[in-house]
Structure 1
Amino acid sequence: MRIKDVILVPGNGAFFYDDQDAIRSGAVQDGFTYVGRPLILGFSAIRTPAASLSVGLVLEDETVAWGDMMGVQYSGAGGRDPLFDINRISDLTSRVVVPRLLDIDASRYLDACAKVFESHEHKRLPLAVEYGVSQALLRAAAQLHRTTMADIICSEFNLPLPTRRVPIYCQSGDAREINVDKMILKAVDVLPHGLINSRQKFGVEGQLFMEFVKWVAMRTRQLGRPGYHPVLHFDVYGWIGKEIGLEPQSIADFICKVADTVPDFLLNIESPADFGSTQAQVESYAKIVSILDNRGSSARIVVDERCNTLEDIRLFAEAKATHLVQIKTPDVGSIADTARAVLICKQNGVGAYVGGSCTETDLSAQASVHVSVATQADMMLAKPGMGVDEAYSIVGNEQNRLMAMLNRRRV
């Protein structure tokens, strides 16, 4: 069960890397680009095409198991790894990771991950490397055992074979109105994301945001088929805190006010504020969660920024500092850690949302589906890209195929 060779191939992510600090500081959009100087180290422009690096594991029968490395859209912000540098990542992978891959048993997934992802020069490998290589190792194990990637996760983590499909969440990008209509017509489970990442979109005291929330609910009633009742999920990129202030009580008051405008819907608010550090985020989010729960609000808080690694996710889950964790797969690192993160959330009574980034690829999206279904996450992101149709078909069709195979065995 050895790996004979390793292939590295440069590629493209499905969207762009964006300098979040520059955007938050008021960079103005000009068409699809942003005007102004980048602020985060490594960015040569505020918006730059996403790069990826494919890693192919050549097995003894000459079949190749692939995985893709990349960063997230807002790399270098919110405590995340720096901007993905394909030349640096390729060099490190060739020098350090490839020799390790040639010395492991590819049929033993968690053991292989543990050996390949040992620290280098007393530091953890870049998370993008862990992410891409762990996908390839998961596919290799599935190929060698002639089964699905979900089966490998279930076997390695002693989980029962899944019986429930995982709800899918779509994101709109800047084409909000058109993409909301697409999501409703396709009866997406959770929508629309909204990309509320600037004052122009959030509005003074959040007025534009509140109007958009009400419009999405209204449009859902207009276009949705009978019985269609999605969860409404909005990512505000910290703008409640930036506009209303960083007092947990004020943030909770605002969220309740938004929820009251759409009383018939379950409302998710992602990244309501950025308190500057993981510890501050845990403490303040715990207060917001407590206030909302005590009021019996239908709104739920979703954490993203400052909750990146498995250790961060454990902190938030154990502190009940969120209702739902976005497990942002490239930021977590090894996709085995994504599985662990879902299980940690479940153990602590916190929702697990297997997310990721629009900058990912079809391969990373499909691997994420298998981990999401195997661990029975609460929801998963339709990815990659910022279009609805492509991402929803990649993730939805992969889940449908997987569930069909699992169900066939139960007949």
Structure 2
Amino acid sequence: MQITDIRTTPGYSGFFFDDQRAIKQGATQDGVTYEGDPVTDGFEEIRQAGETLIVDLELADGTVVRGDCAAVQYSGAGGRDPLFRADEYAPVVEGPVTDALEGRDATRFLENAAILETLQVGGTQLHTAIRYGVSQALLAAAATATNTTRTDVLADALGTEPATEPVPVFGQSGDDRYTNAEKMFVKGVPVLPHGLINSREKIGENGKALLEYVEWLQTRAQELGQTDYAPRFHIDVYGMIGELFGAPYDRAEVVDYFRTLEDAASPFPIQIEGPMDAGSRAKQIQAMAELREGLQSAGATVDIVADEWCNTLEDVRAFVDAGAADVVQIKTPDLGSLHRSGQAVRYCEGTDTRAYLGGTCNETETSARACAHVALATDAAQVLAKPGMGFDEGYMIVENEMRRTVARRAREVRVACPDADEVTADD
């Protein structure tokens, strides 16, 4: 079945674009916004409304499928592509991108997505948000044309055996880190709460505020969770630990602090995302590898998660090859086409680095559902609940998409192989 047209509509995403550099430099919050001037190119305010470019792809039989172009909350930071403005990029999708894809066979997902990765406009590769959103539509088109799931299309393209149950979901709390964490405990979320520790005030003097928060998490998990509840704590500190202990910091002092966090979390495991921001990929890899080595030498079981400067598939490979993280976040909008995220997850196979299929609160329900299929197709270690910072909505979207897909695939197996062993799944 051929692709006949691609149309776009500017829309809103699930959160905001924030100037991370300005916030880390001390911008103060004024309600939902921030006071002061932006410092990152492209920003007119420190906090701006999130945008998406809705992509409607039409097939020869008149069927229309969708993808949403989206970019991360902290666009332009840590080596990422610049701020994404929907109006600016709509002509690119409806022009050169449509020209390149119109008339192509919709069932050939991998070939079509590869075109997005190589296409250039004015000598420049397409913005990651465009590649991300259009590839979602291409994936949906392939699944529609072949009457199968998006999980199966990706599994065939990547050469994987899909997960037979939902991948563990990672809930993110936003600044409402206490109330939202309690919601997660009640719902039995397996990985939580993110925490959004992105300022000196939130981490506290000598890290005291973060330590107290982890102590609270440990207590409330046992008070609110079911008897067999065993969550993994995952805290994103946006490089604040590195800033707290100076640059260059005393590794022994940082290791000691990590051990206090480990003790506070016990008996639950804990992992810390983005412990420092060293300013470049090479320096970040070196700093992360040295910290990981120090933690292992001290017998600490805290895992560290790569985020800053780990944006592209090539970045993921570099961090994994260097042994610079226990977990790498595969920040889906930053990798471009969805198959690149799948390839990044696969690169972690056979290593001691786990793949966290992440993204951003600043996505949409359409992109979140597409990513649920990437998680299932590659059996990632964990997948982010998104979009938004209210937790409940994003968790529902991602968890339910995986449950629906697992149930459908199980039913199809039973129909195709009625004599096979019964496959069970949540319905």
Q: Which TM class, normalised by the smaller chain length?
A: over 0.9
Distance 2:114 2:201 in 1: 45
1:146 aligns to what? 147
Once residues 15 and 271 of structure 2 are traced to their aligned partners in structure 1, the CA distance between those partners, rounded to angstroms, is 24
Which amino acid in 1 is paired with 2:215?
A: K
Q: How far apart are 1:261 and its partner, in Å?
A: 1.9
- For the aligned residues, what is the CA RMSD? 1.2
One-letter code aligned to 2:95: R
Match of 1:274 among 269, 273, 277: 277
Tell me, in whole angstroms, the C-alpha distance in 2 between the residues paired with 1:250 and 1:313.
28
For 2:361, what is the secondary structure of its paired residue?
coil
Residue identity matched to 2:65: A
Distance of 1:103 and 1:86 partners within structure 2: 25
Aligned equivalents of 2:364, 2:243: Cα separation in 1: 32
Q: Secondary structure at the match of 1:8?
A: strand
Identity among equivalent pairs (%): 45
The structural deviation recorded for 1:71 is: 1.1
2:64 corresponds in structure 1 to: 64
Counterpart code for 2:146: H
> Which digits, 9 at most, give the CA deviation of each residue in 1:280-331, with x for residues without a partner?
1111111111222233322100011100000000000111100001100001
Shift of 1:409: 3.0
* 3-state DSSP of counterpart to 1:94: helix
Q: How does 1:7-406 map to 2 (within 5 A)?
A: 7-120=7-120, 121-245=122-246, 246-247=248-249, 248-406=251-409
- 8 Å CA contact 1:249–1:288 kept in 2: the answer is no
CA contact (8 A) 2:117 2:336 kept: no
Q: Give unpaired runs (5+ residues) of structure 2.
A: 415-427
Q: What is the rounded CA distance, in whole Å, between the counterparts of 2:38 and 2:186 in structure 1?
A: 38
Partners of 2:98 and 2:2 in 1: CA distance: 13
Cα distance in structure 2, aligned partners of 1:129 and 1:201: 34
CA contact (8 A) 1:104 1:115 kept: no
Q: Is the 8 A contact 2:162 2:379 kept in 1?
A: no
Residue range with higher mean Cα deviation, 35-44 or 91-100: 91-100
Task: Give distance in 2, aligned partners of 1:56 and 1:288.
Answer: 45
Q: Contact 2:218–2:264 (CA<8 Å) still a contact in 1?
A: no
SS at match of 2:67: strand
Q: CA deviation at 1:224?
A: 1.1
Change (3 A) 1:42 1:188: same
Letter in 2 for 1:30: D
Structure 1 CA distance for aligned equivalents of residues 116 and 30 of structure 2 = 44
Q: Deviations over 1:251-286 (max 9, x none)?
A: 333212211222211101000000110001111111
Instruction: Report deviation, 1:54.
Output: 0.8
Cα deviation digits, residues 188-226 of structure 1 (max 9, x gap): 011111110111101111111111111111111111111
Which letter maps to 1:261?
A
- For residues 336-371 of structure 1, give each alpha carbon's deviation from its aligned partner in whole angstroms, at most 9, with x where no partner exists: 100000000114331000000001000100000001
Question: Aligned partners of 2:117, 2:99: CA distance in 1, in Å?
Answer: 12
Instruction: Give the CA deviation at 1:87.
Output: 1.9
Contact 1:109 1:141 in 2 (8 A): yes
Q: Deviation string for 1:157-206 (max 9, x for gaps)?
A: 22224324210000001111111111101110111111101111011111
Aligned amino acid, residue 204 of structure 1: E
Secondary structure of the residue aligned to 2:34 is strand
1:216 alignment partner AA: L
Instruction: Tell me the distance in 2 between the aligned counterparts of 1:210 and 1:162.
Output: 35
Shift, 1:4, TM fit: 1.1
Letter in structure 2 aligned against 1:5: D
**Residue type matched to 1:389 in 2?**
D
Equivalent residue letter for 1:370 = H
TM-fit CA distance, 1:235: 0.4
